[in-house]
Structure 1
């Protein structure tokens, strides 16, 4: 298994987990309330699930889908990082969103370099 495949699966499975938790986790409900973004919790969960499915399908069926999904997730996580900074969360709490933003940007750039 090459690095692109491994990281795509890692990100895809992580976002399936995050997406499902957006609907059922009391912790996530409280976190979105803390961010002042409660009304966007379910929408964020849908975006995470759609992005995850796009990553996994795109890896095997269509590189354009892989690139679009990974760029979308990267932007979503960049927005999450910005929210964390705005509400003055420390770097430890903010780091995962930044890490997933960079990871998905790398996936998009690597897929683009391989397929185009």
Structure 2
């Protein structure tokens, strides 16, 4: 298994988890309130995370869908990072969004090259 495949599986499984927790857990409901975002914005975020994770995990069937999914997740994490900076979260609290933004950007780029 290649390093790229491992990164795709890691990100895909992580975002499946993030999406489900975003939709279902009281903690994430409180976080989105703290972010100044609405219930519908939280629900859209969770659905996009789940959709992106599924698209990533389908990479063996469609590199294009996986590349688009990785790019979308990267943009979603950029927005998450900006939101955390806007509310003045620490670098430590903001770092997961930044790291996943970079990771998915790299995945999107590497998949785009293979298409």
What TM-score, normalized to structure 1? 0.95
Offset from partner CA, 1:51-110 (integer Å, 9 cap, x none): 0000011x1111111110000000000000000000000100000000000000000111
Partner of 1:71: 71
**Deviation of the 1:38 alpha carbon:** 2.6
Partner of 1:7: 7
Following the alignment from structure 1 to structure 2, what is the Cα–Cα distance between the partners of residues 112 and 73?
15
| Consecutive unaligned residues in structure 1, runs of 5 or more | none
Partner of 2:55: 54
Q: Which moved more, 1:72-81 or 1:60-69?
A: 60-69
SS at match of 2:89: coil
| Consecutive unaligned residues in structure 2, runs of 5 or more | none
What TM-score, normalized to structure 2? 0.96
What is the aligned residue count?
A: 114
Partner of 1:102: 102
Following the alignment from structure 2 to structure 1, what is the Cα–Cα distance between the partners of residues 18 and 25?
9
Please say if 1:41 is aligned against 2:36: no
SS at match of 1:89: coil
The list of structure 1 runs, each at least 4 consecutive aligned residues, that deviate by more than 6 angstroms after superposition, is none
**Deviation of the 1:28 alpha carbon:** 0.5
Q: Report the RMSD for the aligned CA atoms in angstroms.
A: 0.8
SS at match of 1:66: helix
